[in-house]
Amino acid sequence: SREVQASQRSVAIIAEMIHTASLVHDDVIDDANSRRGKMTVNQIWGERKAVLAGDFILSAASLALARIGNTTIISVLTQVIEDLVRGEFLQLGSKENENERFAHYLEKTFKKTASLIANSCKAVSILGCPDPKVHEIAYQYGKNVGIAFQLIDDVLDFTSCADRLGKPTAADLKLGLATGPVLFACQQFPEMNAMIMRRFSKPGDIERARKYVLQSDGVQQTTYLAQRYCHEATREIRKLRPSPEREALIQLTEMVLMRDK
C-alpha cells in the first residue's frame, strides 16, 4: 500500500540521516579534512559547529522516526545509534591477544557500519510483512552486506588513490587503526604486532606497515572475506520468493565487491 511504502521510504531517509550525522561526528573525532572529495564540515565551520550540525541531523532523524508511530521500528532504529557509539568506543581500544584482535575488528565493523544496514533492512521488512522469518532474513542480509562493504572500504584504503577514493589513503593507519589488510599481513610479518600495539605512533611506522600490507596477501585475504560475506547475504535473500526486488538486492552484493570508490 502507499502508506506502507511511504513509511518504508521514511526509514530509508532516517537511516541516511543517522549515517550522515555519524560521518560528521567521525570527521571531528578523526580531524579529517576531506570526505567524498570535498572539505569536511569541521574544516569549513570548525569542530564545535560540526558537532552541533551532527547533533541537529540526528535530532531531525529522531523526529522523523517518531512520526512513523511504530514502537517496534523506533526500537530497531535506535539500536543503530547505540551500536554506532559502542563501535566508536571499540575503535578507541585494541586487543593485545592476536587471536582476539580479528574478533574485535569484526565486532567494531558490525557496530559502526553493518548495524545501520542490518537494522534498516529489518525495519523496512517489519513494515512490509508480519512474518518474523522475513525480518530475520532482511537483518542477516543487511548485516552481511554491511560487513562486506566495510571490508572493501578497508581494502580501498590501501589500493585506491586519494582522488578516486574521495579521502586520503592510508587514513586508518594514520589514525592508529589495524584493519583487515593489516591484521592478515601481520600473519606473514609478525613484526607488525608491536606497531599495532603502539598504534603506528613511531616515525616510519605508517610507511613500513603500508609496505608490509602491499607485500603480503592481506588485501587479497580481506577481499576474499568480503566475498564470503556477500555470498552469505545472497544465500539469505534467496530464501525469499523470486522477484525483481530480490534480484536487485543480489546485484547489490556484486556492486559492493566491484566498487573502487
Judged by DSSP in three states, 240 sits in coil
At residue 99, the pLDDT reads: 77
162 within 8 A of 168, measured Cβ to Cβ? yes
| Cβ atoms within 10 Å, residue 157 | 25
The whole-angstrom distance between residue 67's C-alpha and the CA centroid of its chain comes to 27
Cα-based distances in Å from 205 to 64, 173, 192: 45, 9, 9
Bridge partners for 38 per DSSP: 35
- The segments of the chain whose pLDDT lies below 70 read 162-163
At residue 95, the pLDDT reads: 73
Dist. CA 73–CA 77, nearest whole Å: 6
At residue 163, the pLDDT reads: 66
pTM: 0.93
Judged by DSSP in three states, 35 sits in strand
Cα-based distances in Å from 117 to 11, 35, 55, 193: 11, 20, 20, 32
- Name the average pLDDT for the chain: 94
Phi, psi of 34 (to 5 degrees): -145, 150
At residue 155, the pLDDT reads: 96
**Residue 11 grid coordinates:** 526509514
Q: Please report which helix (H) or strand (E) contains residue 29, including its range.
A: helix 2-30
**Residue 191 grid coordinates:** 613484526
Task: Identify the CA nearest to 81 among candidates 141, 33, 15, 132.
Answer: 15
